[in-house]
Amino acid sequence: MTVPDVRELLARGEHVEAARRLRAAGALAEAAEVLAQVWRHAEAVELALSSEHPEAAYKHALASADVRLVERTIDALASKPEAARRAADLAEVRGRIADAAALRRAAGELAEAAALYEKAGELGLAARIYEQTNELRRAGMLYERRLAEAPDDAASALALGRILLGFGRAEHAVRALQQALKSPELERDVLPWLLRALVGLGLLDAASEILDRLRAFRPELPLDPRAASSALSHEAALPRTEAQELLLGRYRVLRALGAGGSGRVLAAEDVFAAREVAVKVLSTAGGVQGRDALTRFAREAQIAAAIDHPNVVRVFDFVPEGPLLVMELMPAGTLEDRLSSHAPLSPAVAAHVARSILRALETVHRRGVIHRDLKPANVFFGAAGEVKVGDFGVAHLVDAQATLTGAMMGTLAFMAPEQITGDGQPDATTDLYALGVILFRMLTGVLPFAGPDFVSQHLGEPVPSASARAPWLDAAFDRAIETLMGKDKESRPRSATDALFLLDALPFAAAEEGFVRMTEQGATAPSTAPISQRPRASQPPPGDAGRYVPRELVLRRGRELRLADDTLLGRRVQIVEGDDASIAHHRGLAKAVSPFLQAVLAIDAERREIVLEDPSGTPAGSGPIDFARMSDLAEALDVLEAHQLSHGSITRESIVVSDTRAVLLLPLAPSAGSLDDDRRAVARLFGGR
C-alpha cells in the first residue's frame, strides 16, 4: 500500500477501506484518525489505544460525546501512564477537570489528581487520594466538606470516622461512624471502628450493644468490649497521624495569647480546617460546683456556636475533653489593648465600638444569652477594624467566692450592682450597665469608679461626669451614661435596641470636631496604639475607593444598584445613586434604627450616593411568611411610626428573610402611602385581608 492509494480512497469517500489498509500496514494511529472522520469513534479509540500514540484515544472518545466510551478510555489509559499524562494535558486545555483528575491519577500523579478532583467538586475522590498518600489532615477536612453537602455518603463518613479516631478525636469519630452506620451495606465495616471509638471514650454500655451486633458477623470476638477492641486493634491499625503532636489531635499550638481566671488562650492552627483559630483552654473548680459550671457553660457555648453575626466572635467548637473552646482568631487585639494607655479614644471610634457591641448584644439577648462579663478584654478587633464581642458565658466558670480576689478586679470594675449583691437574676440590662462603664472609659480614658473599693462605689456613689474629664463632650453624654449605669436596673434601657436609640441621639459628630481641635492644640492625650491596630478615628466618605470595593451591578426592585465590600468594617453594602429628593428622603429614614429595618449607613450628597446595609437572607417567597418574622416587620413599622415615617411600597421583594430575622428594605425612592397602608400590606403577606 502507498500513500497515494490511501489519498485516492479518501478522495472517493472510502474511509473505511482506507483505514483497513492503514491498519494492515501497521499505521494504527493514522487509521484511527481516518475512522474518526466518519464518526466511527469507538473503532478509532480501539485502534489508537494500540498505537504508538494511545493518548489520541481520549481525543476520539471526547469527539463521540459518549460518556461511557470516555470513561472506558480513561480506564484503559491507566495501564499507559505516559499516555495518560499527555491525555490529561488535553483534558485540562478542554476544561474537562474531572477527566484530567482521573487521567492524572492513572498517570500516578496523585497530588495533581487530588487538587483537580477538589477543583471539580469531587471532594470524596480528592479525599480518598489524600488518604492514600497519608495526607490525613487534608483528607479529613475534605470528607467533612463532602458530608456537609451529602450527609448520606456513608463511605465518606466511615473514612472520616477512621481518620478522626487516628487523631484521637473519639467523640467526633463516633458521630461520623454513627452516620455511616445508617447504610446497611457498610454495617460490618463500620461496627469494629465504632466499637473502638466507644471503648476509647469509656462508654462501655454503648460499646457492649455495638459488640452484640458485631458478633453476628464475628462470633469469635470476646464478650468483653475492651478485650474485643484490643483484638480488633491488632487486626487493623489506626491511620498514622500527627495526633501526638497536636492539642486533642487537631490543633497545633502556635503561641500563647493570654491567660485569666477562667483559663488560657492560645493561637493555634486547626489542621483539619486549614485555618488559624483561638483556643481557650478552660479552668473550672473541682467537685459538684465545677461540674455544674461546666455544664452551664457548655450549654451557652452551643448557643453561641449557632450565632452567625458580624459583631459576635464566631465559636467553631466546644470540646468537653479539654475542656476547651475553639473560636475565630481576632488578629488586631482587644479594646483593653487600646485603652491601656489611659488616653481617651476619639468619639467617632467610641461610637463605632459602642454601636458594634450593642448590635452583638441585640442578637445574643434575643437568643436568651446574657454575657455577664462584658469588659474591654472581651471586645475584639479584626484586621479591617471590625468589632466583635466574645467570651459569652465564661463568667459562669468563675467561683462566686472568687469575685473579690485581685485576679477578678478587672471584671468587678464593670459589674452591675445586682451582680455584686447577687440580688435577682442578671438580664439584658446587666450587660447594658457594663456597656455604660466601657463607654465612659472610651470617652475619658479612665474608669468611672477607679477602686479599690469597687463594691461600695458601684452600689452607692453617683456616676461621675464624663464631660468634666473630656470637655469636648456635652451634658448629653453624661445623661446617657448615667442612664446606662442606673443603680436600679429598671431605670436603664430595657434592651440593646433601646440603648442604640440612646446612642444615636448623642452628638458624636460635634464631639469628634471638638476632640480633633483639642488634640491639635495638645489638650488631649490620644491613644498611643498604632493606627494599624485600632479602629480609625474618622471614616472616609462613601465614594472613597480605599473603603468601598465594587463587586457587581444588580437590578433590584426596578433600580440598578452597586454591591460593594466595606473594607473598613468588613461587610457587604449596597450603593444607590440618588437625586435631591431621594437623598432628603433617606436622611429622614436614617433616623429610624431597628435590626428589622434596612440601615442607612452613609449619605454623600456631593457624589449623590446613598450607602445602605445589604442584609443577609433571601426575598420573601410566594408562600405565607412565618409568624415569628411577622413580629419583626411589625417592630420595623413601629420604629417608622415613632419617627412619623412610612414606607409606601411594601412587597415581597422589599422583605429579606433569614433564619434569625426579617428585614424590611427601605424604599429606593420617595413614594406615596401612609403607615396604615404599610400595615395592610404586611397583613396581606401573612394571609390577612
The per-residue pLDDT for range 408-430, each reduced to its tens digit, is 334 788 999 988 887 777 889 99
Question: Which of 538, 562, 582 marks a domain boundary?
Answer: 538
Would you say 250 and 271 are in contact if contact means Cβ atoms under 8 Å apart? yes
Higher pLDDT, 441 or 53: 441
273-279 mean pLDDT? 83
Tell me, what's the pLDDT at 177? 92
250 located within any domain: no
Domain match, 116 and 30 both:
yes
Considering the domain boundaries, does residue 460 fall inside one? yes
97 and 112 in contact (C-beta within 8 Å)? Answer: no
Count H helices and E strands in the chain, helices first. 30, 15
* Amino acid 358: pLDDT: 95
pLDDT reported for residue 122: 87
In this predicted model, what pLDDT tens digit does every residue of 338-365 receive, in sequence order?
A: 888 788 999 999 999 999 999 999 988 8
**Is 116 in the same domain as 136?**
no
**Residue 561 and residue 682 in one domain:** yes
The SS3 assignment for 340 reads coil
Note whether 59 and 160 are same-domain residues: no
Task: Report how far residue 76's alpha carbon sits from residue 9's, in angstroms, rounded to the nearest whole number.
Answer: 31
Gyration radius (Cα) of the chain, Å: 33
Report yes or no on 474 lying in a domain. yes
Q: Which of 153, 270, 337, 373 is catalytic?
A: 373
φ, ψ of residue 246 in degrees (nearest 5): -115, 150
- Domain range for 153 is 130-243
Taking the model in full, what pTM does it have?
0.46
Residue with grid cell 459589674, as numbered in its chain:
415
pLDDT band at 6 (very low <50, low <70, confident <90, very high): confident
Note whether 188 and 168 are same-domain residues: yes
Please check whether residues 563 and 591 belong to one and the same domain.
yes
Q: How does the average pLDDT of the chain come out, rounded?
A: 80
Closest to 364 measured CA to CA, from 416, 427, 418, 420: 427
Kindly give the residue spans of alpha helices, DSSP state H, lying in 150-244.
154-166, 170-180, 187-200, 204-215, 225-235
Secondary structure (3-state) at 426 = coil
- Find the range with the poorest average confidence among 21-35, 85-99, 228-242: 228-242
- Residue 300: per-residue pLDDT: 58
Residue 388 is assigned to a structural domain of this protein = yes
Q: What pLDDT is recorded for position 539?
A: 38
Same domain, 94 and 157: no
Question: How far apart (Å, rounded) are the C-alpha atoms in residues 284 and 320?
Answer: 12
Residues 171 and 197 in one domain: yes
The C-alpha atoms of residue 543 and residue 675 are separated, in whole angstroms, by 33
Are residues 311 and 183 both part of a single domain?
no
Phi, psi of 610 (to 5 degrees): -120, 125
The closest alpha carbon to 678, from 639, 624, 628, belongs to 639
Q: Tell me if 396 is assigned to some domain.
A: yes
Tell me: do 269 and 398 sit in the same domain.
yes
The predicted structure's pLDDT at residue 400: 35
User: Contact at 8 Å (CB) between 240 and 166?
Assistant: yes
CATH code, 534: 1.10.510.10
- On whether residue 61 sits in a domain, the answer given is yes
| pLDDT per residue as tens digits for the range 474-522 | 999 999 999 999 999 899 999 999 999 999 999 999 999 988 888 776 6
Report yes or no on 251 lying in a domain: no
Q: Are 151 and 144 in contact (CB under 8 A)?
A: no
DSSP assignment, residue 270? Answer: E
- pLDDT on residue 368: 77
CB atoms within 10 A of CB 9: 20
373 is catalytic: yes
Is 503 in the same domain as 644?
A: no
**pLDDT(536) > 50:** no
C-alpha cell at 442: 472610651
Tell me the percentage of the chain whose pLDDT exceeds 70: 83
Checking if the pLDDT of 543 tops 80, the result is: no
